[in-house]
Structure 1
Amino acid sequence: MPPPPLSRRAALTGLGAALLTGCGPRVLPAGPPLPGAADGTGSATPATPSPSPRPDVTVPAAEGPVTVPGGAVRVITLDTAELDSAMTLGITPVGAAKAPLDTALPAYWPASRLAAVTPVGDIGAPPDTAALTALRPQLILTNLARDTDHTAALREVAPTVTTRTTGATWKEDFHLHATALDRHGQAAAVVAAYGRHLDQARNALSSSGAAGQRISLVRFVEGSPAVRLYARQNFPGSVLADLGLPRPDPQNTDRFDTAATPDQLAAADGDLLLYAGYGDPDRNGLNTTLASPAWQALNAVRTHRAFPVDDQLWFQGIGYTGAHFLIAELLYLLGAS
């Protein structure tokens, strides 16, 4: 029988305990030491402006250098990677955009922090500049994959820092976000914590005999005519690569994803199959596919090694805090925690 789902509360408890006590190979690894969150729960106190102004910062953004106020704390994030970067660095944005088919921002963040964030529309949608201006932002963070047509309007509201894309480039993008937020020291601590977490997780995988398990990533997306098999060039694929976990052959490619029609579902098989749905499960194909003979014939399904995961975390939680949760859930599902 499959293990019960790992609750986010249980993961947070384990992450906090590990931060305080350290952990060995078979203990849930430590999460990131978020600024302002000594308990490791991610409940960082929103940053407040420094008593005296800090020098302006010039950021090498995708569209050219951008000058932003030093130590900006009134920040608007227009995609999930930008949200993860700001929150991980201890800054709760004054406004944030959500995924169009979701009802709220990613729930791997504590509700107490999300309650302080004003919704500013959907990711990739034309910005409501009046609503953005009303939040008095010092800085807007986004990327050209979502807002290439909107940057001129956004710059009229506040200095706007863009990365070229999002997803697989999350580590590089985090450094750019940290530069814009003037938080290099905190960023260095976050990166170091991730390195320690990876070392601990690899030891746990090796000790449990799970290091050779082939991990399949499957996503059902409303509006997409086929099932998406995530390959290596995306956020969760990069975390699996960091852990040294192998992928099924059809997904072991240097691309974002491949499409699988109902008669090609064999490519979704793996020693562990993780799947999620974005949008309505009756419209994104999830319910139909899970009831199909082809899905039921997969070895991972027959051996109870196929598990639903949170789409907002696994496929939208692009950043260091999201990565820590992915690692914790992987270890749990692989019996290595």
Structure 2
Amino acid sequence: MTAMTASRRVSIALASAVAGALALTACGSDSDGDKKSEGGKESAATAPERTLKTVMGDVKVKAEPQRVVTLDTAELDSVITLGVKPVGATRTDSKTGFPSHIPADKVDGVKIVGEMTTPNLEAIAALKPDLILTSKLRHGDKYEELKAIAPTVMTESTGLPWKENFLVHADALGKKTEAQKAVAGYQARTAEVTTALGGKDKAAAIEVNMVRFVEGADIRIYGKENYLGTIFKDVGLGRPAVTAKAVDGFMLNVSPEKIDMADTDVIFHSTIGDPDKAKATQVLGSPLWKNMDAVKKGNVHVVKDELWIQAIGYTGAGNILDELEAALTK
């Protein structure tokens, strides 16, 4: 088989899969999930559509989408928080392919549809979704292909605007009531953690830093304008002066020789990729690291990157708050 023939076959297969998904959207399906219930409740296939205004323009979605595909961790966290099990999701760096903070039963049976940066369009189409959730930042270049498969709702970006994005996801899923409960629960939990730390003044007196070791990149000291930064802020924790140097408030890249810039009252750190290649092994064993005040006082905590950096949602935030309280009240 020639390379050209192979390429044509892949293109034909993808076109067929997309056409099948479009036919399903237009005509409905004979599967059990699309039939009316015994009580006569309107099926997902025949439910009235709603028009959502998104960064990519107006998108028509079903009143309550039943077959949802998520293409990033934030969207996955959102649907799980809202009580929806997706039919497909992209892979994360964890052993199972799904973030470990999400209960196994919540993702049992969910199909992996490629990597976050390179979602498999054929695999997505094969699941016959009625809604795809992602962001323009991640997959804006694939929007035309994705919307040909199913209504695709994108937010502008991810990370910092996670609370606003969550409401977009909830609207797309028809889960506004559930969203209100999740937000209220988070607000109550952050207040509990602040109280556990001795109140607002004492919480503000504790300065915390987040350091991330990344394979193939410089070491990152996280600023205030990101997912984790908003959680620290909601609890009322202090942030050291170095965070003001973060580019766009997001993060500051440093070399191993500058790691002491991260020193403060409490340091949390995570690693993504190989610890040796990410310089974690080198730095954590260095005299410079060991001589930092937070290290000498035992106020350094190793955390999971897939939770503290990548979760980007209310379910993840709840887990972070639990670990944060445990670390700061020991």
TM range (shorter): 0.7 to 0.9
TM value normalised by structure 2: 0.83
1:33 maps to what in 2?
A: none
| Pairing of 1:78-227 with structure 2 (within 5 A) | 78-99=71-92, 101-103=93-95, 104-125=97-118, 127-206=119-198, 209-224=202-217, 226-227=218-219
CA RMSD of aligned residues (A): 1.8
Choose the corresponding residue for 1:280, options 250, 274, 282.
Answer: 274
Alpha-carbon shift at residue 98 of structure 1 (Å): 2.1
Query: Does the residue aligned with 1:281 lie in a helix, a strand or coil?
Result: coil
Deviation at 1:155, TM superposition (A): 0.8
Number of aligned residues? 286
Q: Secondary structure at the match of 2:311?
A: coil
* 2:203 and 2:236 in contact (8 A); partners too: no
**Structure with larger Rg:** 2
CA contact (8 A) 2:196 2:329 kept: no
- Contact 1:215/1:245 (CA < 8 Å) preserved in 2? yes
The aligned residue for residue 13 of structure 1 is: none
CA change 1:162–1:121 in 2 (3 A) is: same
- What secondary structure, in the 3-state scheme, does the structure 2 residue paired with 1:149 have? helix
Distance in 2 separating the partners of 1:123 and 1:52: 34
Which of residues 245, 249, 260 in structure 2 aligns to 1:255? 249
Superposed CA deviations along residues 289-325 of structure 1, whole A, max 9, x for unmatched, are 1111111111111111111001111001101111111
Give the deviation of 1:176 after TM superposition.
0.3
Q: Which of structure 1's runs of 4+ aligned residues deviate more than 4 A?
A: 207-211
Q: Which has the higher contact order (CA 8 A, sep 6+)?
A: 1
Partners of 2:221 and 2:254 within 8 A in 1 = yes
Q: Give the C-alpha shift of residue 207 in structure 1.
A: 5.1
Residue matched to 1:74 = 67
Amino acid at match of 2:62: P
SS in 2 for 1:228: strand
Superposition deviation, residue 286 in structure 1: 1.1
Structure 1 equivalent of residue 4 of structure 2: none
Where do 5+ consecutive residues of structure 1 fail to align? 1-47
1:296 pairs with 2:296? no
Q: Is the CA contact 1:92–1:116 (under 8 Å) kept in the aligned structure 2?
A: no
What is the match of residue 52 of structure 1? 42
Aligned match of 2:314: 320
What is the CA–CA distance in structure 2 between the aligned matches of 1:49 and 1:261, rounded to whole Å? 60
Q: Could you tell which deviates more after superposition, 305-314 or 250-259?
A: 250-259
Q: Which residue of 2 aligns with 1:38?
A: none
The CA distance in 2 between the partners of 1:303 and 1:319, in whole Å, is 32
1:161 deviates by 0.4
**Separation in structure 1 between the aligned mates of residue 57 and residue 112 of structure 2, nearest angstrom:** 28
3-state SS of the aligned residue for 1:148? helix
- Kindly, what percent of the aligned residue pairs are identical? 38
Structure 1 residues 175 and 207: alpha-carbon distance in aligned structure 2, compared to 1, 3 A threshold: closer
Amino acid at match of 1:52: E
SS at 1:333's partner residue? helix
